Amino acid sequence: MSADTPTLDTVRAWLWAARRIAVLTGAGVSAESGVPTFRDAQTGLWARFRPEELATEAAFRRDPGRVWAWYAERRARLQGVQPNAGHHALAAFEQRHPGRMTLITQNVDGLHQGAGSRGVLCLHGDLFENRWLDVPRDCCRIDDACVGHPPYCDRCGNLVRPGVVWFGEPLPYAALDAAQRAARACEVMLVVGTSGQVQPAGGLARLARQAGARVVVVNPEPTELDAVAHAILAGPAARLVPELLDF
């Protein structure tokens, strides 16, 4: 490491001095809890299926039972998964410093919320939430949906779908708008466990840097956002995040 390369202690000092911190997390922050990363060639979500087979509106309309069953299996596999030290460190920091940190995640696994984080900006939705496939009518009430695979409205036939963002769909406007505002306002952005390949989430780090923030990448492997970063800390989130936020 060269003399002018920011160290963990340097980054920790940046965070300590910052009044506003934004954190963007991706699949890597959950990997140490046993959740396969999105693109893992052996165990990732798309190791056996093409995205268009299961994670698009067209796929759901074509075979809703198959897609619903696949997401039900994903939910079941996550039931026993616990947040790791990285998730807990972020939640604890938020509790010690109310209003100082905005947590933005691309993950749909709910582990940040399980660790105690509140107000998480979920850019890609929440695997454990449901919503209607089509614009709901007055008769459509999620809590009263008829049991089925998938559940449905017994009045109009509207189907219940997983509350995740599928390929080709826009991100939830409120979450994306809040994330962009946090990126522009922060003094330090931590980018943890994400390759930076997925847009527009990956653009938040560039937005933060353009607005004058220091950008810190925490990831075991090189990422597409390394060129944007003022500091790169190579290592697992479960070890590095607690060390960075222990104040």
Model confidence pLDDT, tens digit, residues 183-192: 999 999 999 9
Q: Which two tokens stand for residue 115?
A: 């660790």
Read off the amino acid at residue 67. V
Q: Radius of gyration (Cα) for the chain, nearest Å? A: 19
Q: Taking Cα atoms as reference points, which of 230, 199, 178, 236 lies closest to residue 18?
A: 230
d(CA 225, CA 232): 10
Selected from 3.40.50.11890, 3.30.1600.10, 3.40.50.300, 1.10.3720.10, the CATH number assigned to the domain covering 42-80+129-164 reads: 3.30.1600.10
pLDDT per residue over 129-140, tens digit each? 999 999 999 999
Q: Which two tokens stand for residue 10?
A: 């340097």
d(CA 54, CA 120): 26
**Cβ neighbours around 148 below 10 Å, total:** 13
Active site residue 230: no
d(CA 134, CA 217): 39
Of the residues 87, 112, 124, 230, only one is catalytic, namely 124
pLDDT per residue over 180-220, tens digit each? 999 999 999 999 999 888 888 889 999 999 999 999 999 99
Selected from 3.40.225.10, 3.40.50.1220, 3.30.565.10, 3.30.930.10, the CATH number assigned to the domain covering 1-35+82-124+171-247 reads: 3.40.50.1220
